Amino acid sequence: MEYSTKRETFNGRGQQEKTRNNFRAPSVAKMAEIPRQMTGAEFRNMISGMNAETRQCQNPDASALMFQSGQVGAPTPKGRRSCQNCKSEFAIEPEDFDFYRKLDVPLPTWCPECRQVRRYAWRNERILYRRPCDLCGKSAVTIYSPNKPYKVYCPPCWWSDKWTAQDYGREFDFSRSFFEQFHELQLQVPRISLLTKNSVNSEYTNHCNNNKNCFRGYSLFECENVLYSNNIWQNGRDSMECYHSDEGIELSYECVDCFGVYQCQYGMLLRNCTDCYYCLDCRGCSHCFLCWNLRNKQYCIRNRQYTKEEYAEKIQEFGLDSYARRAELYQQYRGEILPQALYRFANIERSVGVSGNMIFNSKNSHHVFDADRTEDSKYAIISPDVKDTMDAYHYGFATELVYECHALIHCYHVLFSHLCYDNSNLEYCDGCHNSQDLFGCVGVKQGQYCIFNKKYDERSYRELRDKIIAHMQQTGEYGEFFPVELSPFGYNETQG
Ligand SMILES: [Zn+2]
Ligand SMILES: [Zn+2]
């Protein structure tokens, strides 16, 4: 579809946001290998490196059994498969088969990096526009540019009882493909202008839940008075311009990958620190300035110990009340402190049997990044509190049994879905909330036993669902995440 493949022309606000991102990118921790900091080529290189390490399937008999006719191309020699998208070879490891069997899904036909890029194409986090709400007519800030052919409602209208997604319900037509009909449904059912749920005075936030007084935040959860920040999970308070924090961040500014910090500024990889400025990789420290790799220290400047009084005197001399002095200090931090610090090859803590980077309190998980409390998962990026999942991006908070999804929270057994909070037993759903047992639905709230937004009794639902899956297996659609062409965004508006 032409609108999703062409490059978008940004309006003033979007352009401003884009410029800011470009400006900010070099200032955050490269070592964290956060995907949004990479160019497409860098990301591909990183993943190819990981693929090179991927072990070959140890059990060719088991893998051969899984290749049912019509599901996936024949395995290449030695149990490796050819990606149906980029044609490179990839392996499915023995332990992956248990997962696919448990969910009763076919084997993937695309390699892990192509699957990830396909999910990235569905996340426009912060390229914002204005367009009128299609229900109340008021101007709304939204991730959908005015030329997009969707109905877009502002959050109060979208969450209201003034409309219901079931009114758009329709029969499934077995003479046509699933995705073609799904796209028609997407074009009819209203979309929420920004996904802001259960929040107070936080309407200019996206992918956010349970917040109060937040502004221009993305992926904020349980936060209060947090501005211009991203991926702050739990107890973010009175902070600004921060990226990726769990376990609390308060009265802090310009902190990246900092956990349990209070009154810190320009910090990276700080844990349980208080009043630390321009510091990198410090733990249990307080009142430190331009320091790196310190543990349980107080009153240090450039890693040199001072008395409390000397420290206070020195800090006065730095002149933190001057913008120009602060700009100089920031240059010193970047030019002197960051290059001489020691860096671990990967930040993995309190975790067993994991691979990836920025992994905390996790076990049995591989190829995971920005993960906390992640268990038995693979190919997961940004996954706080998930269990038994594979191929998912930006999801978590008591989420279990998930495959090929993007943007889920509080979900159980959800497959091939996008932007769905608080659900169980969903497949191929887009923007559904507080629901269970949905298949191929868009924008359903508090629904059950719906297919293409039409309500059925339980028995009819299960029979029809099985018939559609059989149809999709024949068309080769079942087992694949939504195609990039169905994404509501231009590719350059997305994380891709
Ligand atoms: Zn591929
Ligand atoms: Zn409205």
Over residues 129-147, mean pLDDT: 96
Q: How far is CA 383 from CA 31, 114, 139, 371, 396, in A?
A: 19, 19, 34, 5, 5
Up-side HSE of residue 73: CA atoms within 13 Å toward CB? 16
Ligand 1 centroid–CA 384 distance in Å is 27
Question: Distance from the CA of 405 to the center of ligand 1, in angstroms?
Answer: 18
Ligand number with the minimum distance to the CA of 118: 1
β 352-360/304-305 pair status: unpaired
Assess contact for 284 and 270: CB atoms under 8 A.
no
Q: 416 versus 55: which is more confidently predicted?
A: 416
CA of 425 to the centre of ligand 1 (A): 28
Closest ligand relative to 139 C-alpha: 2
Length of the chain: 496
Ligand of minimum distance to the alpha carbon of 132: 2
Residues surrounding ion ligand 1 at CB below 5 Å: 83, 85-86, 111, 114
The CA 41 to ligand 1 mean position distance, Å, reads: 14
The CA distance from 83 to 13, in Å, is: 38
The ligand with the least distance to the CA atom of 158 is 2
* Sheet of 433-439, strand order: 348-349, 352-360, 363-396, 399-415, 418-427, 433-439, 448-451, 454-455
Ligand 2 centroid to 261 CA: how many Å? 38
What's residue 203's pLDDT? Answer: 86
Nearest ligand to the CA of 135 is 2
Residues 279-304: what's their mean pLDDT?
97
Ligand 2 centroid to residue 395 C-alpha, Å: 27
CA of 153 to the centre of ligand 2 (A): 5
Alpha-helical regions (H) of 27-110: 40-53, 60-66, 94-103
Closest ligand relative to 142 C-alpha: 2
The pLDDT, as a whole number, for residue 220 is 96
Measured in angstroms, how far is the CA atom of residue 379 from the centroid of ligand 1?
14
CA 75 / ligand 1 centre spacing (Å): 15
**Segment 303-315 mean pLDDT:** 97
pLDDT in tens, 324-359: 999 999 999 999 999 999 999 999 999 999 999 999
What's the 80 CA to ligand 1 centre distance in angstroms? 13
- Whole-model pTM: value is 0.83
Residue 63, CB-side half-sphere exposure with 13 Å CA sphere: 23
Ligand 2 centroid–CA 192 distance in Å is 9
Q: Compute, in angstroms, the gap from residue 135 CA to the centroid of ligand 2.
A: 5
**Kind and range of the H or E element at 402?**
strand 399-415
Beta bridge partners of 245: 232
Contacts of residue 74, defined as CB under 8 A and 6 or more positions apart, other chains included, come to 67
User: Which is it for the CA torsion 321, 325, 329, 330, positive or negative?
Assistant: positive
Torsion angle (degrees, nearest 10) of CA 192, 239, 273, 332:
110
Beta strands in 196-333 (DSSP E): 196-197, 208-209, 218-227, 230-240, 243-245, 249-250, 253-256, 261-262, 265-268, 274-280, 286-289, 298-301, 304-305
Q: Write down the H helix ranges in 253-410.
A: 308-318, 323-332, 338-340
Nearest ligand, CA 83: 1
Q: What's 32's DSSP letter?
A: G
Note the ligand closest to the C-alpha atom of 109: 1
Compute, in angstroms, the gap from residue 414 CA to the centroid of ligand 1. Answer: 24
Kindly identify the ligand whose nearest atom is closest to the C-alpha of 108. Answer: 1
How far is ligand 2, taken at its centre, from the CA of residue 406, in Å? 26
CA atoms of 18 and 127, how far apart (whole Å) = 7
- Distance (Å, whole) CA 257 – CA 244: 5
Counting ligands in written order, which one lies closest to the CA of residue 192?
2
pLDDT tens digits for range 207-239: 999 999 999 999 999 999 999 999 998 889 999
CB of 233 within 8 A of CB of 222? yes
- CA-CA distance, 114 to 12, in Å (whole number)? 32
Query: What spacing in Å lies between the alpha carbon of 112 and ligand 1's midpoint?
Result: 7
Q: How far is the CA of 267 from the centre of ligand 2 (A)?
A: 40
Amino acid at the residue 377: S
Write the DSSP symbol of residue 252: -
Q: Where are the domains of the chain?
A: 258-346
> Looking at the predicted structure, is the pLDDT value of residue 14 above 50?
no
Ligand nearest to the CA of 111: 1
What percent of the chain has a predicted confidence (pLDDT) above 90?
81
Q: Rounded to 5 degrees, what are φ and ψ at 424?
A: -140, 150
User: Average pLDDT of 453-471?
Assistant: 98
- Angstrom CA distances, 488 to 143, 329, 482, stand at 9, 43, 11
- Ligand 2: centre distance to CA 227 (Å): 24
Among the bound ligands, the one closest to the CA of 88: 1
pLDDT at 121: 95
Q: What pLDDT digit, counting tens, does each position of 150-202 carry?
A: 999 999 999 999 999 999 999 999 999 999 999 999 999 999 999 999 999 99
Q: Per-residue confidence at 79, pLDDT binned at 50, 70, 90?
A: low
116 alpha carbon – ligand 1 mean position (Å):
10
Among the bound ligands, the one closest to the CA of 84: 1
Q: How confident is the model at residue 56 (pLDDT cuts 50, 70, 90)?
A: very low
Q: Find the helix or strand (DSSP H, E) in which 90 lies.
A: strand 89-91
| 376-435 residue pLDDT tens | 999 999 999 999 999 999 999 999 999 999 999 999 999 999 999 999 999 999 999 999
Per-residue model confidence (pLDDT) at position 489: 95
Helices (H), 77-143: 94-103, 112-120
Measure 138 CA to ligand 2 centroid, in angstroms. 6
CA distances from 257 to 102, 248, 282 (A): 35, 11, 12
